[in-house]
Chains A and B, each alone.
Chain A
Amino acid sequence: MEILIYGTINSIALALMALGFALVYGISRIPNFAHGAIYVVAGFITWTFLKVVGLGYFLSALIAILVTGILGALIYRFMLIRVRGMAISEIIASYAIGLAILEGLRWGGFKGMTYTLPVFIAGSVTLGGVPVDIHRLLLIGIGVAVIALLWLFTHYTRIGLALRGMAQDERAALMLGIDSDRMALLATAFGSMLAGLAAIVLLPLGNIVVEAGYNVLILAIAVCIVGGLGSWMGAVLAAFLIGFAQILTVVYLGSHYQMVVALLAIIFTLIMRPSGLFGRQKELEERV
């Protein structure tokens, strides 16, 4: 029971961290290595508005998500747009932006244990004999809602459908009037907003530290590689796979090995099935 509950919580947390990365990569084929930095920025913005400016929690969170969206758009518009299509340059540029942001924050004094966000609702309940705090339950609800909304958005709205068209064949989408640069900008903004949202939901469970940026990036990459780069539903399923594997490891081997699971998952996936669990596109291409 404990494994089931905490496995689900951990899986949803991983899915939240990875969805933004998967979205940006799926649409614009840019691996956004600044993803972790954006995550941490969202945490510090929320903290600033909550603790320094003194706005309400909800409002601070909203501002943080909006700012990260704009930040993502700016990063695309002024930096990534010039290297799009050059895979190595995309990685170097986005990783450099991430490093600059994270180390800039560290230099600016955002370090140590002082920066924490409160949980949304304090208290805990007992589920099947296992104590779970309400914030973690909310996390499940928010995660499921985000996944459902993202699915509805990409299947039923004009922009969402255009994004999926572009993800499948950018040039064919261009022929239908779908401007790829504008869509990639939107995708980067949405992806950054998802990173921001993930930060606001997940950071109250710990401290806001610069190192979280690197961890989130590694976890997001692990989830996306296992799920098949560019496949959003693959990312969600991979999040559950890695999420439960981590919890099982914690229970049977000790929490020390938790991070190793994600890293091993990357290595084994790349050896055994390089296109990930859901590298579906390739199979279809061969058929036609």
Chain B
Amino acid sequence: MLDAKGLMVFYENMLALNNVNILCKENQIVGVFGANSAGKSTLMYTLSGIMEDIKKKEEMAGGERITVSGKIQYKGIDITKLRPSERARRGLILCPERRRIFKESSVLENLRIGGYLASPAQANKTLDYVFKLFPALVKLKKRVGGFLSGGEQQMLAIGRALMAQPKLLLLDEPLLGLSPLMQAILIRATKVIRDEQQISILVTEQYARPVLPIVDHAFILENGAAVMEGSRDELLNNPDVRGAYFGV
């Protein structure tokens, strides 16, 4: 599905991603774990192409010089040079860190905006699916996005990303700052999305513990480098991983 090789990202002279290889097979849930500033969001921005936009804006504002290299293959084609909107059109959708929902629009409107790439029939079908997946959103339909709780916003953000008809969903820290109960709901929903919609998912998190039970494969990032990878069981049984990412 997605095969990224030798990704390097520099912010000026600071190395944010160092020769990272990420592989996500069809219908897999792949985890990327790492501490703050390990490069998780940089990786997500690079894969989704948003980095191109960040780079352009920084150039415009005379800010940091960002350099990206490496190769990203998605569904067998090279998308390294494709614009973010082109990648989204092909089903590579990012659900960003801190959710970034449209705060002045209602829940329903947020979802409708998310359906920009979908046909009207697809949009209606996905809308029903999102409300089935997150029944809590049904009675919040009319509420303005800015007045939702963190958990509700995250459900909305995932729902909105689903509206864009992803084939590969990039979930950037979906559990950030949420209660254990809400984390459990979101983790269950992530698995359901993969199982029912056949959407492959790449998910990043700081702590591996809540996410590890549903991933097929995972990578561990440290200071911008992928220091370890393996299947769920391999990582579960690795003492280093247990110490560093489970807080055992």
* Interface set of A (CB-CB < 8 Å, partner B): 83-86, 155, 158, 161-162, 164-165, 168-169, 171-180, 182, 280-281, 284-285, 287-288
Do B53 and A174 touch (CB < 8 A)?
yes
Contacts of B60 in A (CB 8 A): 83-86
Do B101 and A172 touch (CB < 8 A)?
yes
| B235 within 8 Å of A (CB atoms) | no
Do A162 and B113 touch (CB < 8 A)?
yes
| B142 within 8 Å of A (CB atoms) | no
Given contacts A86-B60, A165-B102, A172-B96, 8 further A-B contacts (CB under 8 A): A161-B116, A168-B102, A174-B53, A177-B88, A177-B164, A179-B83, A180-B53, A287-B147
A165 in complex: contacting residue of B53, B54, B95, B116, CB < 8 Å: B116
The total number of A-B Cβ pairs within 8 Å is: 97
> In the assembly, what is the distance between CA of A137 and CA of B149, in Å?
47
A280 in complex: contacting residue of B61, B104, B117, B163, CB < 8 Å: B104
Number of residues on chain B facing chain A (CB within 8 A): 38
Q: Which B-chain residue is minimally distant from A182 (CB atoms)?
A: B85
Main SS of chain B's interface residues? Answer: helix
> In the assembly, what is the distance between CA of A280 and CA of B147, in Å?
13
> In the assembly, what is the distance between CA of A164 and CA of B144, in Å?
14
Given contacts A161-B113, A174-B50, contact A288 B146 (CB under 8 A): yes
| B75 within 8 Å of A (CB atoms) | no
Can you list 23 residue pairs at the A/B interface with Cβ under 8 Å?
A85-B61, A86-B61, A168-B105, A169-B102, A172-B96, A173-B113, A174-B53, A175-B48, A175-B50, A175-B84, A175-B88, A175-B93, A176-B114, A176-B161, A177-B89, A177-B116, A178-B113, A180-B85, A284-B103, A284-B104, A284-B146, A285-B146, A287-B146
Q: Which A-chain residue is minimally distant from B60 (CB atoms)?
A: A85
Do B104 and A171 touch (CB < 8 A)?
no
Q: Which B-chain residue is minimally distant from A173 (CB atoms)?
A: B113
* Interface set of B (CB-CB < 8 Å, partner A): 48, 50, 53-54, 56-57, 60-61, 83-85, 88-89, 93-96, 100-105, 109, 112-117, 144, 146-147, 153, 160-161, 163-164
Contacts of A178 in B (CB 8 A): 85, 113, 116
> In the assembly, what is the distance between CA of A176 and CA of B157, in Å?
11
Q: Which A-chain residue is minimally distant from B164 (CB atoms)?
A: A176
A272 CB to closest chain B CB (Å) equals 23
Do B84 and A288 touch (CB < 8 A)?
no
Contacts of A168 in B (CB 8 A): 102-105
